[in-house]
C-alpha cells in the first residue's frame, strides 16, 4: 500500500514530526510505501510542519523580558509562530492582563527587514489577550509592510470580542479580569475601526491568540483556517489522492478535533479523495467520529501511552496496516 501519515503533535509527548516517524517506521519495515506529512493547524508545531526553524531573533517576551524566538526564512517566505515570542510556555507566572504580543510584532518586523515578502504567522499557545495591540505598536509605522503578504493561520473561529471569555481563563485570568479584558477588546474594536477602517468584530477567527488575529487584520493580514493553509503548503491533498490509506492523529481527541483541527481536516481530505482514514490518538472523549479512532490509552493503558508514546504508535501502526489492507481489498 501507499500510506500517507499526517498526524498533529501529541501534546506533552511527541511533536508531529516524531509522531509521523514513529507511525511510519513499522509500516515501511512491512514493505509499504509511506509518505510522512507532519501537520499542524496554525498553533504550536506549525513552524516544524512547514520546514523548521533556521533563524533566531531576540524579542520581548509576553511579560517584557527577552526571549530567543525561533522562526524560518526561505527565500522571500517566512514562517513565524506567535507562541515562540508571546506564548504561555514562556512565562513562569501568568499575568493575563499585562501579557503582550509586542514580541510577535518585533518578530514580524525582523522577518520583513530580512527580506520576507510573504509571511505565515501561526497562532496558538498564546499568553495574551491584548487584541494584537502590542504587535501593532511594535510594527508602527506600518509603511514597511507595503507589498508584504501576511497570512494568519487561525486554529479557532472565535470572534474578537469573545476571546477573553473563551480563552483568558486558560491564561490565568480571574472572572473580574475576564470582564476587564472583554471591555478592553470592545474598546479596541472602536479604536481599530477609527484608526484602520477595519471592523474586527465581524471577522471570523479574529479572536485567535487573544485577538492577535484581529489586530494583524488591521494591517492587511488575511485570516486563514490554519489546517487548510498548512495542508496546501505541504501538498497534503495531492499526497492523499495518490494514497491507499491515510493515518492521522493527535494527543487528545474530542469534539473540537473535527472543527478546524488537524484530525478533522485530514479526514475531510481523505473522504473527498475516497481514501480510508484512521486516527491514532493518545486518548479520546466519547465522540461520534466520522473515521475509526484507535486510542493508545485504551490499548496500552495511560501510563505506557504517556511514557512510551512512540513505541505504542509503532505497535498500533501494524494493526492499522492490516485494517488498510482489508479496506483496500474491499474497495478493489
Report the number of distinct structural domains present in the chain. 2
Query: Pairing relation of β-strands 55-60 and 66-74?
Result: antiparallel
Q: Are residues 6 and 76 in the same domain?
A: no
Give the pLDDT mean for 184-202. 98
Q: Are residues 169 and 301 in the same domain?
A: no
262-273 vs 226-234: helix crossing angle, rounded to 10? 60
Q: Which helix (H) or strand (E) holds 231?
A: helix 226-234
CA 287 to chain centre: 22
Write out pLDDT tens, residues 15-59: 999 999 999 999 999 999 999 999 999 988 999 999 999 999 999
Q: Are residues 23 and 84 in the same domain?
A: no
Final residue belonging to a domain, choices 201, 227, 253 = 227
pTM: 0.90
**CATH at 251:** 3.40.50.10350
Q: Are residues 223 and 275 in the same domain?
A: no
Burial of residue 9 (CB within 10 Å: 0-12, 13-18, 19+) is buried
Q: Are residues 6 and 136 in the same domain?
A: no
Contacts of 215 (CB under 8 A, 6+ apart): 101, 130, 131, 132, 133, 135, 136, 188, 192, 200
What values do phi and psi take at 54, rounded to 5? -140, 10
Confidence bin at 332 (pLDDT 50/70/90): very low
- Alpha-carbon distances, residue 105 vs 6, 72, 94, 171, 319 (angstroms): 31, 15, 20, 20, 46
Give the pLDDT mean for 137-143. 95
Final residue belonging to a domain, choices 168, 200, 227 = 227
Q: Are residues 14 and 32 in the same domain?
A: yes
Nearest to 167 by CA among 236, 246, 88: 88
Give the residues across from 151 on adjacent strands: 120, 222
**Could you tell me the residue range of the domain that residue 262 belongs to?**
2-37+235-331
pLDDT of 330 strictly over 60: no
Q: Are residues 136 and 239 in the same domain?
A: no
Amino acid at each position: 500500500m501507499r500510506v500517507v501519515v499526517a498526524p498533529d503533535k501529541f501534546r506533552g509527548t511527541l511533536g508531529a514530526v516524531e509522531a509521523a516517524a514513529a507511525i511510519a517506521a513499522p509500516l515501511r519495515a512491512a514493505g509499504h510505501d509511506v509518505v510522512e506529512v507532519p501537520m499542524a493547524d496554525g498553533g504550536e508545531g506549525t513552524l516544524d510542519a512547514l520546514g523548521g526553524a533556521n533563524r533566531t531573533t531576540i524579542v520581548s517576551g509576553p511579560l517584557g523580558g527577552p526571549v530567543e524566538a525561533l522562526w524560518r526564512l526561505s527565500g522571500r517566505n517566512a514562517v513565524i509562530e506567535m507562541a515562540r515570542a508571546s506564548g504561555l510556555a514562556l512565562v513562569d507566572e501568568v499575568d493575563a492582563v499585562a501579557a503582550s504580543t509586542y514580541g510577535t510584532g518585533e518578530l514580524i518586523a525582523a522577518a520583513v527587514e530580512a527580506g520576507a515578502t510573504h509571511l505565515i504567522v501561526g497562532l496558538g499557545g498564546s499568553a495574551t489577550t491584548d487584541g494584537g495591540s502590542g504587535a501593532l505598536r511594535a510594527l508602527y509605522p506600518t509603511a514597511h509592510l507595503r507589498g508584504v503578504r501576511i497570512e494568519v493561520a487561525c486554529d479557532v473561529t472565535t470572534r474578537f470580542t469573545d476571546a477573553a471569555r473563551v480563552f483568558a481563563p486558560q491564561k490565568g485570568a480571574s472572572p473580574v479580569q475576564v470582564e476587564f479584558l472583554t471591555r478592553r477588546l470592545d474598546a479596541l474594536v472602536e479604536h481599530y475601526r477609527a484608526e484602520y477602517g477595519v471592523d474586527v468584530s465581524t471577522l471570523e477567527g479574529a479572536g485567535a491568540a487573544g485577538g492577535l488575529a484581529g489586530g494583524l487584520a488591521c494591517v492587511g493580514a488575511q485570516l486563514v483556517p490554519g489546517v487548510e493553509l498548512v495542508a496546501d503548503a505541504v501538498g497534503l491533498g495531492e499526497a492523499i489522492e495518490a494514497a491507499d490509506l491515510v493515518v492521522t492523529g493527535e494527543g487528545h481527541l474530542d469534539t473540537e478535533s473535527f472543527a478546524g483541527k488537524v484530525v478533522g481536516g485530514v479526514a475531510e481530505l481523505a473522504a473527498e479523495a475516497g481514501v480510508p482514514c484512521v486516527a491514532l490518538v493518545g486518548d479520546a472523549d466519547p465522540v461520534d467520529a466520522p473515521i475509526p479512532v484507535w486510542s493508545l490509552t485504551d490499548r496500552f493503558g495511560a501510563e505506557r501511552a504517556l511514557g512510551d508514546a512512540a513505541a505504542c504508535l509503532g505497535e498500533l501502526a501494524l494493526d492499522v496496516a492490516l485494517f488498510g489492507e482489508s479496506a483496500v481489498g474491499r474497495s478493489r
